[in-house]
Structure 1
């Protein structure tokens, strides 16, 4: 019995982490807990997908709200960068130049032809983006909203 349970305890958490960004994604868990916010529904949705392995089935079959052409993305690097560089990023955005602003553009994979528009947007909407310089979450949320409102830069909002 121990030999059977050991792999489950080793691999089940990996499956849960793989589906950690489940809410708004796909799989039975995201359908059952659709529209619910907070840690508990996310954990339950990820656990549902991990336990039943249905997210993998959904991706391979194109069902359960999954698509086969999805892009794997993660905003954790951007969030960590913003959190560690809030004050300097605010200064660079206000002036429209600087290493932290360049680094953020690189993290968001802003293409060379869009870089000037990105810098201009962060400078023009500085007061809105950096309303709460102490809160990395607020900065990320406002930056994402600013990017989404610009048709040229909206494609970079997913990385925030």
Structure 2
């Protein structure tokens, strides 16, 4: 009987310690999750085949991010995603942003809200023939949303 009680006591102690550890991990994970909610994401949507302007939009966007926002990228405050809308797994995201062709969005993700800035017309007007105008406009928008 004493052995049975000792085994039960050991089991209960182990279970309690494991539960406490799980709660602690969940709390840390939740805190990290909350911190990661505040970030600016640049979404570049494209199809399978891309024109020269589409390629320029992605190229110049990446250049801006690497040159101007390297620290923010590392910290997760700025993120970039190139999304191929011809792939089935990207349909939901394309639908969310009502995208049917190449597009550029700068989105601020907050804890409870999302601010979407559609920069598609601006990007197509400037990325290829006026890349400096495109880059400065993109920087201005990202800076505005990072505040």
TM range (shorter): under 0.3
With the length of structure 2 as denominator, give the TM-score of the two structures: 0.27
Q: Which has the higher helix share?
A: 1
With the length of structure 1 as denominator, give the TM-score of the two structures: 0.25
Q: Which has the higher strand share?
A: 2
- Pair member with larger Rg: 2
